[in-house]
Structure 1
């Protein structure tokens, strides 16, 4: 027989499979996956309610100070609304479903909920900052539930009835999500700079986490970080995001190296042109780190060979638009630059 995964999961599956193709290759694995998506929404909502139901969310007034992460999730939601509305206008329900899925799972659940913790769990945060983050948590979730409702009517109604009374909506007992307005794009919340700033923060945190994983360092162990090739833009971003980086990457210190200043043997991650160095003394298994770097170098060498092959192909160069060719050249230059850095790091560690 067919396992029961719920109406919402089945309904979302049909939306996600409603492509321009006339044939649908129905897969129960997709239904199970979207059942897991329902669970993700439920658990995220529990986290939001746990942090807002008995707290001040700014519904009755009070100063709201939004963090960088709060501004980012609103800007990200506006981008999602734009893409969702375009997909509906084009009758691409599959793209609409994928758009809201990606925002909910990857941006709201995986990143934003984590980024609220350095504000909510920090004694140094002001009441206005905590109120601003709680206000953002509850109102983004409420708006997201209205966006999801046509695709997942039952779970969104159930959660919304608890969320809406805490939000900025004019809520009355007995109200239903079914008769609420569909969320509309708010141009005032669109912010390309904030989107770029948080992408930088995410790459920084992921870089540190990757080093921990590859070097088998406990996630709870605070690490010192050295930064090299730091631009003025990197310094600005570091200044406005230090709370998030220190807490989510578990750093005990962050030191910017002066130009020409030597660094001890370190494991490295790259964010643009900036290098994040984690000194290896007492932390690293030399042979394991050499193997990690060799593996990364091998991948980059393959990338360099592929890009060079494309650019040396006369047919590609003569037929491709100039913009595409320039993009391939940029990819080649970036890969060669990263490869050179890793080679230098490999030599440093090998000499230990």
Structure 2
């Protein structure tokens, strides 16, 4: 084959040469991609190592144009398919805005578009629609601009959370704002934990005799979250994996568990043994959480990992509990990226009864907050609670009442068998009746 684009005949022209009248479409060379990039037709080491590969990730729109042709060409040339699985994701759509006039359709400028993207109400003369990205429509999303404004980790998390099985991905700028806030939450949550540590060693590990309901709950939820994220990745459900990591870190770890440790960290409850145990748990859960998020959000998690390593430079594996051993093993690596990805540490700690009991405590917290909001009780003013019941649930709440007093501005909790008589508000949660008297100041 001779390729020549000059005038006249190519050098060394022979009259017997004929131009091939056939034309190959652009996808022909693309079909060769899995092996031609590895040195084929030579039997290179790269070809032996990387052909066939495991997974192809691409858009659904080129299933026949590219994916099917690579498979057929691989079978024909190499004798085997180039990949075992193919994950087809949706196409990213941008939102376009336009005005209609006598001269036709006029798309709005970049600045005006941004205000609408971030939630400003559209004027009556402006129309909008999610469409394939087009420069002429002004709805092209530049990833470099997104990274500059929101940060790489936030962009990666937003994109991962958008990868559903839908054929169309409507990429809303507000999603990047949300995950920028989440990146700040990751940093602030980790910073709070590390700033409030007195312990300089993870040994001798967790003392299970000191575990309270919230400790057993966070270990149960941690193990369950690890399992669910693994299952999500195996199904290529990247949106579910991102959502599980997000919910665990923000809701379960920061908003609930860290808040419940504050009385102990601030010296208002517990002794030094309880505090040391809580600190180890905080570090272990934090370390697992950032490693779970690392494939999606690598930079901030790598930085936090390095800070934890500096905090515990002499951590050595020994005969500690499985959680501490797993944490120390991770910290023995030079970086988060080369540490092992978290696996379920203790299947037996996934306890539905523990989670149900803790969920009841959180329901009580939610109702107390709702009652206070309805009665417009100031945040600084503490109230008294009455729990009317003689059930086993009431006994469980009584044993774990510090959860209520920590997460709500509550002065005291009274457990009674009969309803007291006073002006106030109430709520029924299962077999429990929660009652709050109106403060005298109202």
Q: Shared fold (TM-score greater than 0.5)?
A: yes
Instruction: Give the corresponding residue for 2:340.
Output: 181
Q: Is the 8 A contact 1:57 1:132 kept in 2?
A: no
Q: Is the 8 A contact 1:13 1:34 kept in 2?
A: yes
Instruction: Give the corresponding residue for 1:28.
Output: 173
Q: Distance in 2 between matches of 1:257 and 1:172?
A: 50
Pick from 354, 358, 367 the counterpart of residue 207 of structure 1.
367
Instruction: Give the corresponding residue for 1:267.
Output: 425
Does 1:280 pair with 2:438? Answer: yes
Q: Distance in 2 between matches of 1:113 and 1:173?
A: 25
Instruction: Give the corresponding residue for 2:410.
Output: 251
Moved more, 192-201 or 134-143: 192-201
Aligned counterparts, 1:125-136, within 5 A: 125-136=270-281
Instruction: Give the corresponding residue for 1:49.
Output: 194
Aligned counterparts, 1:68-87, within 5 A: 68-87=213-232
Misfit runs of 4+, over 6 Å: 171-174
Q: Distance in 2 between matches of 1:174 and 1:63?
A: 22
TM-aligned CA deviation for residue 251 of structure 1: 2.1
Pick from 10, 26, 33 the counterpart of residue 155 of structure 2.
10
Q: Distance in 2 between matches of 1:63 and 1:10?
A: 36
Pick from 376, 385, 390 the counterpart of residue 216 of structure 1.
376
Q: Distance in 2 between matches of 1:123 and 1:280?
A: 28
The number of residues matched between the two structures is 280
Which runs of no fewer than 5 residues in structure 2 stay unpaired? 1-109, 111-144, 313-323
Instruction: Give the corresponding residue for 1:237.
Output: 397
**TM-score of the two chains, using structure 2 as the length reference:** 0.59
Q: Distance in 2 between matches of 1:14 and 1:126?
A: 45
TM-aligned CA deviation for residue 93 of structure 1: 0.7
Change (3 A) 1:172 1:62: closer
Instruction: Give the corresponding residue for 1:88.
Output: 233
Does 1:59 pair with 2:202? Answer: yes
Of Structure 1 and Structure 2, the greater helix share is in: 1
Instruction: Give the corresponding residue for 1:194.
Output: 354
Instruction: Give the corresponding residue for 1:315.
Output: none
Moved more, 163-172 or 139-148: 163-172
Change (3 A) 1:62 1:7: closer
**TM-score of the two chains, using structure 1 as the length reference:** 0.74
Does 1:106 pair with 2:251? Answer: yes
Q: Is the 8 A contact 1:222 1:251 kept in 2?
A: yes
Q: Is the 8 A contact 2:330 2:339 kept in 1?
A: no
TM-aligned CA deviation for residue 265 of structure 1: 2.1
TM-aligned CA deviation for residue 238 of structure 1: 2.0
Q: Distance in 1 between matches of 2:330 and 2:159?
A: 32
Q: Is the 8 A contact 1:67 1:132 kept in 2?
A: no
TM-aligned CA deviation for residue 204 of structure 1: 1.3
Q: Is the 8 A contact 1:80 1:100 kept in 2?
A: yes
TM-aligned CA deviation for residue 67 of structure 1: 2.5
TM-aligned CA deviation for residue 124 of structure 1: 4.1
TM-aligned CA deviation for residue 61 of structure 1: 2.1
Q: Is the 8 A contact 1:120 1:130 kept in 2?
A: yes
Of Structure 1 and Structure 2, the greater strand share is in: 2
C-alpha offsets along residues 85-121 of structure 1, whole Å, 9 cap, x if unaligned? Answer: 1111111111111111111111111111111113323
Which runs of no fewer than 5 residues in structure 1 stay unpaired? 285-352
CA RMSD of aligned residues (A): 2.2
Structure showing greater Rg: 2
Q: Is the 8 A contact 1:211 1:268 kept in 2?
A: yes
Moved more, 107-116 or 119-128: 119-128
Change (3 A) 1:68 1:120: farther
SS in 1 for 2:169: coil
Q: Distance in 2 between matches of 1:243 and 1:255?
A: 13
